[in-house]
Amino acid sequence: MTKPFRFGVNLTAPGSRTAWVTKCRRAEELGYDVVAVPDHLGLSAPFPALMLAGEVTERVRLNTFVLNTPFYNPVLLARDIAGLDSLTDGRVELGLGAGYVGAEFEAAGMPFPSAGKRVDHLEETVTTLRKLFADPEYQPQPAQPGGPPLLIAGWGDRVLRLAAEQADVVAFTGGGRPILADAAGVAQKTDYVRGLLGNRSVEFNLLIQQLAAPEQRSELAAALAPHLQSGSDAVIEDIPTLLVGTPTQMAETLRERREQYGFSYITVLEPNLEKFAPVLELLAGQ
């Protein structure tokens, strides 16, 4: 069954309170369904940023997109998540990832675990959060029974398997950084997850990395050439994490990608907040 579109924006630029309030309200005004905050050193801290976003908006959902889970003790993280959900009247969506930037661990004075250990910690975190939020005696109680909906983001088979088993939203990162996966690569991953879901119904999320108007196509193709898979003959129109064309063409591309891959929940980065708005308007309610 085709799911209706939802649209989020990942707000990445730190700044003043006034600037933050302005862009959160602007995202809601433009019709975005979700305001999200990533978890990287040098950017806004997710929990206070989302708390303020919830205070100055009325409708949008509030997402951590995504927490660098190995940074956190799962029990302490549960308190922050439940507190945020309670104080925003249940508007939180919890995005989790395994972490991938070794330099951030070094800057924090933390060892950078192996990929396997990072996924172990992600799995432990999910298990701990589920257990705590299912306990009727747990305090602070999240506003949403059982805790906020869970988004798990990744590309490796083990993370995607965990997402298929546990998440409400499976977010496909679109390739092993800094490589952008082509259509065949994305189809392989979405088919893999569908094969694991059984009767579970989840949303598929895709983070759009770049938008380009027709006159910007050549410039974008040249800039991204080093980031395509070795040996791939894909053109940028065939890279699912990119959108090229007029707003009408981009809207049609997203309809096709929903049909082909199942992507109904689309997230863009802050620099494209305004640029994507005409596309969102064309797809609203579909």
The pLDDT value recorded for residue 232 is 56
Distance of CA 260 to the CA centre of its chain: 20
4: helix, strand or coil: coil
Distance, in Å, from the CA atom of 274 to the CA atom of 286, rounded to the nearest integer, reads 20
Residue 229 has pLDDT above 90, yes or no: no
For residues 251-276, average pLDDT: 98
Distance, in Å, from the CA atom of 133 to the CA atom of 275, rounded to the nearest integer, reads 38
Residue 182 has pLDDT above 60, yes or no: yes
Percent residues over pLDDT 90 in the chain: 90
Q: For domain 6-283, give its CATH number from 3.30.360.10, 3.40.50.300, 3.40.605.10, 3.20.20.30.
A: 3.20.20.30
Query: pLDDT band for position 231 (50/70/90)?
Result: low
How many CB atoms are located within 10 Å of the residue 249 CB? 15
For residues 238-244, average pLDDT: 94
Q: pLDDT per residue over 21-43, tens digit each?
A: 999 999 999 999 999 999 999 99
Q: What is the pTM (predicted TM-score) of this model?
A: 0.96
Residue 233 has pLDDT above 80, yes or no: no
The pLDDT value recorded for residue 73 is 98
Dihedral sign, CA of 232, 237, 240, 243?
Answer: positive
Distance, in Å, from the CA atom of 131 to the CA atom of 146, rounded to the nearest integer, reads 9
The pLDDT value recorded for residue 224 is 86
Residue 17 has pLDDT above 80, yes or no: yes
Strand partners, 77: none
CB 105 within 8 A of CB 111: yes
The pLDDT value recorded for residue 178 is 66
Structure tokens at 83: 């507190």
Residue 47 has pLDDT above 60, yes or no: yes
Burial track 89-105 (b if 16+ CB lie within 10 A, e otherwise): eebbbbbbbbbbeeebb
CB 173 within 8 A of CB 155: yes
Query: pLDDT band for position 228 (50/70/90)?
Result: confident
What does the mean pLDDT of the chain come to?
95
